[in-house]
Amino acid sequence: MVLIRPATAADAAAIAALYAPFVEGSQSTFEEVAPDAAEIAGRMAGTGIAYPWLVAEEGGALLGYGSSSCFRHRSAYRWAVETGVYVAPQAQRRGIARALLAQLIEALTRAGFVTAIASISLPNAASAGLHEALGYKLAGTIKAPGYKLGEWVDIGYWQRDLAERQSSPREPAV
């Protein structure tokens, strides 16, 4: 049975190991050097704000993770959050990414964020379909802003509102 739970610093090495093949062998991320466990732990801790991270495990093995982070660093963006989901190749097509992202959306909504944004390198029908199934809508595309693995790659931004916009919004509680 797959268990989804909050990630801890103890998961950083397993997350780094799961993420490394995506960095080194795909255009799913524009990182070109795989972060190590210390870097992942630092990302999980945030820069004064600990955004939710979740892991999916089965029998003690990490199958995937969902992350969230600051969308942009200027203060007016503090109600927007960027989301990401990665699942080990051998665990894909089991609903793990959907479960991770759905629970991440719930946590972000409870925390008081107003919108979630996913940056998806294109083409990536599986990721776009996952996000659309969970209420994200295509907000726009940037043509070829990144060069990786010998190709210029487009980026699509998908956005999902988490709450109505208020004239005096409460601060996110993370």
Structural domains of the chain, count:
1
Could you tell me which residues are beta bridge partners of residue 65? 55, 86
3-class secondary structure per residue, 47-69: CCCCCCCEEEEECCEEEEEEEEE
- The pLDDT, as a whole number, for residue 47 is 58
**144 part of a folded domain:** yes
**15 part of a folded domain:** yes
**170 part of a folded domain:** no
**64 part of a folded domain:** yes
pTM of the model: 0.93
**13 part of a folded domain:** yes
**115 part of a folded domain:** yes
Query: In this structure, what DSSP letter does residue 54 have?
Result: E
**26 part of a folded domain:** yes
- The pLDDT, as a whole number, for residue 171 is 85
**166 part of a folded domain:** no
Residue 23: give its domain's CATH number: 3.40.630.30
- The pLDDT, as a whole number, for residue 166 is 87
Per-residue pLDDT at 169 exceeds 90: no
Query: In this structure, what DSSP letter does residue 137 have?
Result: E
